[in-house]
Structure formats: C-alpha cells, structure tokens
Homo-oligomer: A and B are copies of this chain.
Amino acid sequence: MELNELTNASGEWLRGAGPESDIVISSRIRLARNLADFPFLSRATEADRAAIEQILQDTISKLIEEKKLDPNTLYIKVGDIDQLDRMFLVERQLISRELADATGARSVVIDPQERYSVMINEEDHVRLQVMQSGLNLQAAWEQVNRLDDLIEEHVVYAFSDRLGYLTACPTNVGTGIRVSVMLHLPALVITRQIEKVFKSLQKISLAVRGLYGEGSQAMGDFYQISNQITLGLTEEELIAKVADIVPVLIDYERQARDFLIRESHETLHDRVSRAFGILRTAQTISSEETMHLLSSVRMGLNLGLISDLQIPTINKLFVHTQPAHLQKLAGNDLDSAARNIERATYLRRHLDGNKPNGPTQN
C-alpha cells in the first residue's frame, strides 16, 4: 500500500461511529516503549537511531511474514518523504508534529485502516497508538496491548521491576500509557462553561489539549482529555480514570445543548443554519473559519437542526480541509491564498445539498 492511497480515505477516527459519537470523536491509547539495549534518544548517536529504526523495521516485517499484521501495513521512513506528506500524516493524527519536524532515522508504521500507528524514534524509541471511533477505550486498550505484545515477541523493552517501563520523559515512566478521548464540546464553549470544566479536570490530574495534541489550539471546539501521570497506577486504573470522567463531560455538553435548544432555539438554529450556508457559498475561506463553522454544523446535525448530511462527511471535512490534505487532494503545492480558494471549492463540492448522496462521496 502507498501513502497516497490514504489521501482520499478517512481512517478509523473519522468514521463517526461507536458509542456517544455525537460528542466523542475518538478514543486513543498510546504506549511509550524503549529498547533495553540502546540509550534514550536524547543521548543516542546517529548510529544508535539507525540501529533502533532497523530493528523495528525488521520486527514489523517479521510480524507481517508471520501474518500477525496486515500485509498492506505501511512502513514509512519519515525522513524520506517530503514536507507536505509529513504534514499530511500530522493532520491525519498518524504521527506527531515532533516526529515530522525531527531529523535522523525515524519511521512510522501505519495500519491500512488507520486503527493504529507506531512511531519509531519520536521522543521514545517506540510509540504505539491505537484509535477507535467514538467512546471505546476498552477496545483501544485490547488492541494496543496486543500490538505491544506482538512487538515484544521480537525486542526487549527497557523495564524496571520497581518503576515499570522506562521512558525518555519521567512523566511517562511506569505504564508509559496515555489515554485520550477527543470530545466535541461546542455548547460548553457557547455557554462559556468550558474553562470551568477544564479547571476541574486539571484538579484531578487530567490534561486538556486541542485537536493536534500538546501545545495546539483547540480548533473547532474539539478537546482531547487525557491522563497526566502514568506512574503508581495500573493501566486499567488509568483508563478508568479517563473513562469515568468522560460520561460526566458528555452529560455537561448534552445539558448545555438542551439549554440552548430550550432557551435560545432560534439563535442556535440561526448560527447552525448560517454556518452551513456560508460553508456552501464561500469562495475563499481560512482553515480556522472552516473549523469554526463545521463545528456549528456538526452540532446542528446532531441536534436535528440540519438534515441531508452525514456526521462522517463533517468529520472528514474537518481533516480534509487542513492545509496539507488540501494540497494532496489538489495534487500540487498551494500558497495560503490559493489554499483558501481551494478549500472553499472543496467545501462547496462536498456540501452541495442538491446531490442526494453527494456529501458522503469524494
């Protein structure tokens, strides 16, 4: 399978299915692992990095040969692809911005259905992540655990009986797990309750981030909730910590939506309907405005204020209108002004209400 075959695809986390998918976009679990025989990357030589990369490439090849991984699994040396493809993978949440921007030997293993990816030589030697559409942490945990075991059949991880898995950053030591749930919380934003909610989450050691992880702005009212510590609790306990709070957040968001529907139905309907109108008629539009408007449309769709459109279409538009996706879809490099025009064209084509099944097709 080629990287370009992913361009028009959608991937697991954009499916818009799974439990609570009106509010929960995806559930993600990532494990940080390091090979016992090599120093952490901060102290590794170029030769170390290359050796680590080679060992893991061999491991993936063996797992494919053993029919334990899909034969269409992608193995991409991130240094060998161009900047546009790297940004494409970041937008798709298959690699981190850090892996994209790093130097030296580094790779990513990608499941053809985009249910998982493995970053090699990011902050740790190995970072496995599994994504599930909707609220489905248990399934994500089972899958990442299986993937972890498969790799461990071929390599020896750095592990301390006292501390657990050893990682480059002390915050990951222990289980090396990060449990994240991506939520769409537009009504909490509109009713100005979001800050209060986040402060409560921080008090119980949960982190809140934007769509593209650490340091990224919350665009389109998407927020990632994840555990901040990995030490002193088992994986199951850490998963439960996130899993227990998500229904509370879902309930808050639903209450805020009910409030808006009840107390300012026309204003909400107006916001949603205009957002849809602008997305279908703009001739030039920025990524930021697109996210903002799509967020309103997504909520409106879930509240029955808009029909004739599917959630997976909206989820896909959030990602496909990002700069690298747009350029991959257009087939050439575009400057910012040209991207804004291309984005508007793309949106009009995909949101044209006249085509009965148009919106879900490319």
Task: State the A residues within 8 Å of B (CB).
Answer: 266-267, 269-270, 273-274, 276-278, 280-285, 337, 341, 344, 354
Identical chains bound together, number:
2
Per DSSP, chain A at the interface is: helix
Interface pair A278/B284, CB less than 8 Å apart: no
Interface pair A283/B273, CB less than 8 Å apart: yes
Instruction: Give chain B nearest CB distance to A355 CB in angstroms.
Output: 12
Q: With A and B bound together, what is the CA distance between A270 and B347 in angstroms?
A: 13
What residues on B are CB-neighbors of A274 within 8 Å?
277-278, 281-283
Q: With A and B bound together, what is the CA distance between A273 and B337 in angstroms?
A: 17
What residues on B are CB-neighbors of A337 within 8 Å?
266
**Contact among B266, B277, B280, B284 for A284, CB-based, below 8 A:** B266
Closest B residue to A338 by CB, please name it.
B266
Interface pair B269/A276, CB less than 8 Å apart: no
Q: With A and B bound together, what is the CA distance between A75 and B278 in angstroms?
A: 46
What residues on B are CB-neighbors of A285 within 8 Å?
270
Q: Which of A266, A278, A281, A282 has the most CB of B within 10 A?
A: A281
What residues on B are CB-neighbors of A344 within 8 Å?
270
Interface pair B283/A269, CB less than 8 Å apart: yes
Closest B residue to A305 by CB, please name it.
B283
What residues on B are CB-neighbors of A281 within 8 Å?
273-274, 276-277
What residues on B are CB-neighbors of A273 within 8 Å?
281-283
Interface pair B354/A266, CB less than 8 Å apart: no
Q: With A and B bound together, what is the CA distance between A274 and B275 in angstroms?
A: 10
Instruction: Give chain B nearest CB distance to A181 CB in angstroms.
Output: 32
**Contact among B266, B283, B284 for A283, CB-based, below 8 A:** B266
**Contact among B270, B278, B284 for A267, CB-based, below 8 A:** B284
Q: What are 27 A-B pairs at a CB distance below 8 A?
A: A266-B283, A266-B284, A266-B337, A266-B341, A267-B284, A269-B283, A270-B282, A270-B283, A270-B284, A270-B285, A270-B344, A273-B281, A273-B282, A273-B283, A274-B277, A274-B278, A274-B281, A274-B282, A274-B283, A276-B281, A277-B277, A277-B278, A277-B280, A277-B281, A277-B282, A278-B278, A354-B354
Q: With A and B bound together, what is the CA distance between A274 and B280 in angstroms?
A: 8
Q: With A and B bound together, what is the CA distance between A273 and B348 in angstroms?
A: 11
3 smallest A-B Cβ distances: which pairs? A277-B281, A277-B277, A270-B283
Q: With A and B bound together, what is the CA distance between A344 and B274 in angstroms?
A: 11
Q: With A and B bound together, what is the CA distance between A225 and B36 in angstroms?
A: 85
Instruction: Give chain B nearest CB distance to A266 CB in angstroms.
Output: 5
Closest B residue to A341 by CB, please name it.
B266
What residues on B are CB-neighbors of A266 within 8 Å?
283-284, 337, 341
